[in-house]
Each structure stands twice: as C-alpha cells, then as structure tokens.
C-alpha cells in the first residue's frame, strides 16, 4: 500500500481549490480559470452527467479539441465516477469507433468546436440498424452523445475502476487500438511523484503542448493540480511550428515544460530557441523516445542550471524510471533512462525469466502499472507474477523494451524485440499499420517495415495490389491517424521471402528499391 | 508559381487526402490548420517543394502558424520573398 492508493484525480482539483481558491488553475483560449471556478464548474457538470445517466464505472470518451471544454469534460467525467478516455478529434471516425466499441464507451463528450466529427464517430460506432444516437447540450460548450443505450451497459469493470479511471489508447498489433486502463491511483501516483521530483509549486506555469490522448498530459493536468499550479494549454495549431512554440513559451512565461525530443529538436533546429531562450523556464522534461545525443548536449548547454529530466515508460506504466541528465553530460557518453521511480520496481530479465546483469527485457511492477487492456469490450490483463532480484514476487508488466541494468539500478535502453517502433515520439505497431493496409480493397499482400539505411526512421509499406500507391495512401488516410501513415507506399508484384518461407522483413528494411 | 491558385495546387499535392475527399477544393481562405490538414511533416514537404519547384526559399522565421493558416496567408509571404528576389 502506498499513500496514493485512494487518491482520486478529481480530488486533487478540489484539494487545490481549498488551498488556493483564487489562484489560476487553467489558462486556455484566452481565459484564465481560478481553482474555485474550475472546481465549481466540474462539480456542476458532473451532476449534469449523472442526470443524463452516466453512472460510476461507465466509460466516457472526451472527443473534443484540446481546450477548456476538454479539460472540464475530463474532470467532470472523473468526478461522476466514470472511466474517462480522452480521444483525438483528428482521428478517422472509423478508428474512433473502434475505440468506442473496444472500450465499451457509452457516452461521448464533445464541444462546440467539433460536433460533426463526434457525430460521425458515434454513428460509426453504433450497431447497424440501431436508432440514431441521442444527444444533448451541457454547459461551457460541452455536449453529450450517447453511443450505447443505458439498457445496454457493458459488463462492469473490476475494482478499483468500477468507480472510475482513465483510458489512453495505444497502437496494437491486431489493427485495433488498445485501451490502456489506468486506475485513479495509477495516474495519481505518477502525478504526485512528478510534482515533487520536479519541485512544482503553486507559482509554476506548466506549459501543456501534447495531445490529451498522450500520457505526457497526465503531468500537465494532474501534477499541476497536485501542486496548485497553473496549466497553460498551448493552442493545437502551434504544435507543428517549433518557432511558434518557442515564442509561446516566452509569452506565456512557462516555468515547467514536458515534451517529446522531436519537439525539443525542432525548437533547436528550426525554432531559434538558442537565440530566444524562454526566460521563465526553470525545469524541463522529455519522454517518448530517445533524445539524439548531439542535440541533447546542445540543450544542456542552453539550459545551464535548469534541470532536464529524462522520463521513461510505456503508457502501460506511465513513467517508471527517471534520470536528471547531468549538466556536464556529453554526446560521447551513453544516456541512461535512469532508475525506478519511488513505488515502482524495474528490472531486466533474461529469456528464462530470471533477473540478469546482461541484456534482457525490461519488466515493471508497482504503483503505476496499469489494470489491463480494454479490448472488444472486456478487460485483458497481460501482467504476470514474476520473482524479482530481491526474491519478492510481484505483478509485473513486460514492456517489450530491451535493456541492461547496472549494479546501482540505472537502466540503459537497447531497442525492442518486436514490431513496435517510435516515430516522432509516437508509438506505432507496424502490424497495426499492416493490418490497415491488408484491409483495403484490391490489396492481396503487404509488409510494413521500419526502414534502415538512408531512410532510417521512416515507415514504408510494401504492397501487392492492382491499385496505385496513391490509392493505397488515400485508403489508409480513411482508417489511420496522420501520425501512423507510412512515409512511402511501394507497390510490388511480389514480396521477398526468407528461408522459412516468411516475408523477409529484414530484406525490405534495407532495400533501396522504391518501385 | 504565378498565382495563389498555383500555391493551392502545390499544397494540395502534399496533403494525403482520404478517399472521397476532394483534393481540388483548396481555396485561398481554406483554414488549413483548423481543419487539421497539415502536420509537421506536410509543412516541411511544402517548404521543400516551394524551394525546389518555385525557387522560393522560406526562411525559418516565416515557418509559423500565422503564415500557414490558409493558402492566401502563405501567398502573401511568398509575394514578399519573390519581390525581394526580383529587386
């Protein structure tokens, strides 16, 4: 048991409203909300949700562009006891519908800014032949759309998520996004740990740049609330423009910032951050993918006394290891993802399932480890009991990441043992993309690979089809989010096979043939 | 690259359109960012194509959301760059 076992995420907000009622809690879309205002609005909205039939344990999707309405929707859902799943309005409706059905989402909360996209996703999610989704208006520009009749509730989730939780979707190998089910305590443990480790106080202004579907924003929302600080939401349209991000960090006097290395590197290479370093910044963190060594060294020079944290962990464990990058670190040294956060146990295991000092798979146990995947309406728990180095058996999640651990508990990453890749900070399962390709008409065979050699870092789809590469790409655009589209589609009459008669992905990965 | 329509065509050619969407329908005032049509990769592809196909080099300082909010806004920036180059 840890001290966060019964902490509720929405209670962090209420506690801050008691301690600092008049302090700023949220700045978004040109308005600042105090903690008292935000907590009151959440309380009223939660009551409205209950009145339209949202009961504890129900799954509620927040399908709204990042903004005040989305934040209110998340907190109100949590306050009503729902399991809240932030969803991305830019995802194709077909994919959103998979998530709605897979997680058993019965209500979507949408905002004035994207009702059409939400209606399309809801229509797509409904069983064919069932009547159109009912909907209604709430306060603050929020609307609800019912995607499952109240008489059609999915089976209740086991404790503790029968009284609420959080769902973040990740790319899965089956072609269906997997819903990572987290308890309040899972998220709260990370939020409180990070607030303390990064030294957040009520004077901080936390810059929130990531999508709400991304686990980085659990820091932006909940660590911020735990500290009574102010969450400042960056307008979504700025994310693709590193120069705007640098300007925004300065104008908004951001003091704490958590982002993927791709964005930090963009700010260095195109954003001019070296000439215009945000003066208020006092702590920064990155996660999601390894930081390229040379840009990292340049950042450390820029940051000076400002601590720069490397946080590691798949969505299933949120952050499970951390390291404050030494200010004098240089690009010729190996970078560590650090040691386990308090409350988690992280170790490396060999193929026989024993802790090893050599290379092996990284396993995580402890307070941040998720409850299981929501898939096809049911909860699937992939964790297993594993005996750790200290002889203690623990419920552990195998990350699929390969690494090595030193005698003092620092872990070094060594890649992956499966089909999962990171591209620009996004986790993508190549088999997820491949099954989308195979689902297109006119496609008879396909292999999706991460390229090596001159196109390293790109994802290419090799497709046996009568259709053109453009047709394949257009088809994929209808079923996959932009971030998951292949960088290139190569149509081919045949796919190479290896000695065992299977598609030779290794050969494709290094092939330079483009047609 | 002579008109804003040429620019619309270039931008359109870099966007991955879904089936059933109408690629030709980009207008000078189409809100590219609000509609989520551009991601960071598409933006870099447009910048590269402007350089390669039209000889217009967009400096990093001009690669900002305000200039990509619609084709007309980007056209105004390109006209300035073109005028500068012609002098």
Q: Rounded to a whole number, what is the distance in Å from the CA of B38 to chain A's nearest CA? A: 8
What tokens appear for A171 in the block? Answer: 């790319």
- Report d(CA A410, CA A405) in Å as an integer: 6
Where are the extended beta strands (E) located within A31-177? Answer: 31-34, 59-63, 83-87, 105-111, 135-137, 142-146, 165-170
Residues A273-303: pLDDT tens digits? 999 999 999 999 999 888 989 999 999 999 9
Q: At A86, phi and psi to the nearest 5?
A: -65, 135
| Predicted local distance difference test score (pLDDT) of residue A1 | 42
What tokens appear for A39 in the block? Answer: 């907590």
Contacts of A89 in chain B (CB under 8 A): 36
Q: Return all residues near A395 (Cβ < 8 A) that are at least 6 apart.
A: A365, A369, A383, A384, A385
Query: What are the residue ranges spanned by the domains of chain A?
Result: 9-239, 343-416, 420-510
Residues A211-249: pLDDT tens digits? 999 999 999 999 999 999 999 999 989 999 999 999 999
Contacts of B37 in chain A (CB under 8 A): none
Q: Which residue of B has its CA nearest to A458?
A: B41
Question: What is residue A222's DSSP assignment?
Answer: I
- Report the SS3 class of residue B18: coil
Query: What are the residue ranges spanned by the domains of chain B?
Result: 4-14+27-86
Where are the extended beta strands (E) located within A184-260? Answer: 205-208, 230-233, 256-259
Contacts of A482 in chain B (CB under 8 A): 16, 36, 39
Q: Rounded to a whole number, what is the distance in Å from the CA of A311 to chain B's nearest CA? A: 24
Q: Rounded to a whole number, what is the distance in Å from the CA of A507 to chain B's nearest CA? A: 26
Average pLDDT score over residue span A131-158: 89
Residues A427-476: pLDDT tens digits? 899 989 999 999 998 898 899 999 988 888 899 999 999 999 999 999 99
Average pLDDT score over residue span B20-38: 81
Nearest CB among A92, A235, A243 relative to B63 is that of A243
Task: Please determine whether the domains at A343-416 and A420-510 fall in the same fold group of CATH.
Answer: no
Q: Which residue of B has its CA nearest to A473?
A: B16
CB contact under 8 A, B43 and A240: yes
Q: Which residue of A has its CA nearest to B69?
A: A237
The domain made up of A9-239 is a member of CATH 3.40.50.12780: yes
CB contact under 8 A, B17 and A474: yes
Average pLDDT score over residue span B49-58: 92
Q: How many Cβ atoms from other residues are within 10 Å of residue A369's Cβ?
A: 26
**A459: closest CA among B13, B41, B38?**
B41
CB contact under 8 A, B65 and A478: no
- Count Cα atoms within 13 angstroms, Cβ side, for A430: 22
Residues A362-406: pLDDT tens digits? 999 999 999 999 988 889 999 999 999 999 999 999 999 999 999
Q: pLDDT > 90: what percent of chain A?
A: 77
Q: How far is CA A310 from CA A251, A307, A313, B5, in A?
A: 25, 10, 10, 46
| Predicted local distance difference test score (pLDDT) of residue A3 | 52
CB contact under 8 A, B40 and A424: yes
Contacts of A272 in chain B (CB under 8 A): 60-61
Question: What is residue A151's DSSP assignment?
Answer: G
Average pLDDT score over residue span A25-50: 98
A481 touches chain B (CB under 8 A): no
Q: How far is CA A131 from CA A28, A103, A142, in A?
A: 37, 21, 23
CB contact under 8 A, B65 and A237: yes
- Count Cα atoms within 13 angstroms, Cβ side, for A501: 0
Contacts of B16 in chain A (CB under 8 A): 473-474, 476-477, 482, 485
Residues A468-501: pLDDT tens digits? 999 999 999 989 998 899 999 999 888 888 877 7
Helix, strand counts (H, E) of chain B: 4, 0
| Predicted local distance difference test score (pLDDT) of residue B30 | 93
Nearest CB among A240, A424, A476 relative to B38 is that of A240
pLDDT band at B23 (very low <50, low <70, confident <90, very high): low
pLDDT band at A4 (very low <50, low <70, confident <90, very high): low
Domain B4-14+27-86 sits in which CATH superfamily? ACP-like (1.10.1200.10)
Dihedral in degrees, nearest 10, Cα atoms A155, A159, A165, A171: -60
| Predicted local distance difference test score (pLDDT) of residue A297 | 96
- Report d(CA A242, CA A268) in Å as an integer: 8
Domain A420-510 sits in which CATH superfamily? ANL, C-terminal domain (3.30.300.30)
Domain A343-416, CATH among 3.30.930.10, 3.90.1170.50, 3.90.110.10, 2.30.38.10: 2.30.38.10
CB contact under 8 A, A241 and B34: no
Strand partners, A379: A374
Q: Which residue of A has its CA nearest to B61?
A: A243
Contacts of A474 in chain B (CB under 8 A): 16-19
CB contact under 8 A, B63 and A90: no
Strand partners, A86: A62
CB contact under 8 A, B60 and A244: no
CB contact under 8 A, B63 and A237: no
Mean pLDDT of chain A: 93
Torsional sign, CA A131, A132, A133, A137: negative
| Predicted local distance difference test score (pLDDT) of residue A515 | 55
The residues in B 67-86 lying below 8 A from A, measured between CB atoms, are 68-69
């Amino acid at each position: 048991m840890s001290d966060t076992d019964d902490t509720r995420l929405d209670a962090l907000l209420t506690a801050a409203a008691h301690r600092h009622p008049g302090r700023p809690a949220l700045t978004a879309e040109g308005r600042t909300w105090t903690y008292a205002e935000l907590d009151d609005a959440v309380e009223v909205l939660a009551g409205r949700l209950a009145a339209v039939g949202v009961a504890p344990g129900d799954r509620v999707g927040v399908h709204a562009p990042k903004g005040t309405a989305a934040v209110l929707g998340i907190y109100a859902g949590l306050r009503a006891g729902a399991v809240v799943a932030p969803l991305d309005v830019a995802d194709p409706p077909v994919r959103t519908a998979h998530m709605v059905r897979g997680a058993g989402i019965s209500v979507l909360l949408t905002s004035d800014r994207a009702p059409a996209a939400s209606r399309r996703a809801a229509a797509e999610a409904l069983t064919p032949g069932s009547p159109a989704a009912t909907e209604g208006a709430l306060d603050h520009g929020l609307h609800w759309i019912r995607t499952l009749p109240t008489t059609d509730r999915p089976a209740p989730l086991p404790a503790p998520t029968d009284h609420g939780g959080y769902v973040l979707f990740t790319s899965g190998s089956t072609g269906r996004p997997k819903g990572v089910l987290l308890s309040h305590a899972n998220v709260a443990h990370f939020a409180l740990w990070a607030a303390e480790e990064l030294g957040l106080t009520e004077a901080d202004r936390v810059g929130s740049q990531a999508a709400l579907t991304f686990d980085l924003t659990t820091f932006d929302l909940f660590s911020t609330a735990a500290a009574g600080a102010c969450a400042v939401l960056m307008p979504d349209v700025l994310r693709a423009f590193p120069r705007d991000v640098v300007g925004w960090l300065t104008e908004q006097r951001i003091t704490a910032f958590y982002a993927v290395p791709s964005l930090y590197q963009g700010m260095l290479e195109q954003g001019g951050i070296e000439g215009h370093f945000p003066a208020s910044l006092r702590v920064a963190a990155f996660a999601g993918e390894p930081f390229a060594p040379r840009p990292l060294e340049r950042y450390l020079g820029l940051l000076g006394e400002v601590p720069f944290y490397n946080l590691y962990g798949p969505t299933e464990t949120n952050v499970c290891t951390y390291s404050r990058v030494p200010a004098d670190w240089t690009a010729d040294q190996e970078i560590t993802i650090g040691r386990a956060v308090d409350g988690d146990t992280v170790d490396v295991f060999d193929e026989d399932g024993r802790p090893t000092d050599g290379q092996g798979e990284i396993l995580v146990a402890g307070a941040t480890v998720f409850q299981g995947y929501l898939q096809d309406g049911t909860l699937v728990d992939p964790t297993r009991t594993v005996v750790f180095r200290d002889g203690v058996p623990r419920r552990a999640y195998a990350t699929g990441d390969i690494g090595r651990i030193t005698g003092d508990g620092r872990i070094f990453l060594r890649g992956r043992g499966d089909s999962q890749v990171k591209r620009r900070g996004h986790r993508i399962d190549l088999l997820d993309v491949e099954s989308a390709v195979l689902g297109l008409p006119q496609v008879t065979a396909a292999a999706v690979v991460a390229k090596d050699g001159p196109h390293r870092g790109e994802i290419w789809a090799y497709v046996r089809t009568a259709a053109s590469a453009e047709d394949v790409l257009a088809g994929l655009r209808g079923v996959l989010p932009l971030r998951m589209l292949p960088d290139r589609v190569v149509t081919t009459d045949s796919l190479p096979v290896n000695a065992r008669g299977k598609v030779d992905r290794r050969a494709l990965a290094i092939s330079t043939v483009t047609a | 690259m002579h008109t804003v329509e040429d620019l619309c065509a270039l931008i359109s050619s870099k966007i991955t359109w879904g089936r059933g969407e109408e690629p030709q329908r980009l207008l000078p005032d189409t809100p590219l960012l609000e509609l989520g049509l551009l991601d960071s990769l598409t933006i870099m592809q447009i910048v590269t194509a402007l350089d390669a196909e039209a000889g217009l080099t967009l400096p990093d300082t001009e690669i900002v959301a305000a200039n990509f909010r619609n084709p007309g806004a980007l056209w105004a920036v390109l006209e300035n760059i073109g005028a500068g180059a012609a002098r």
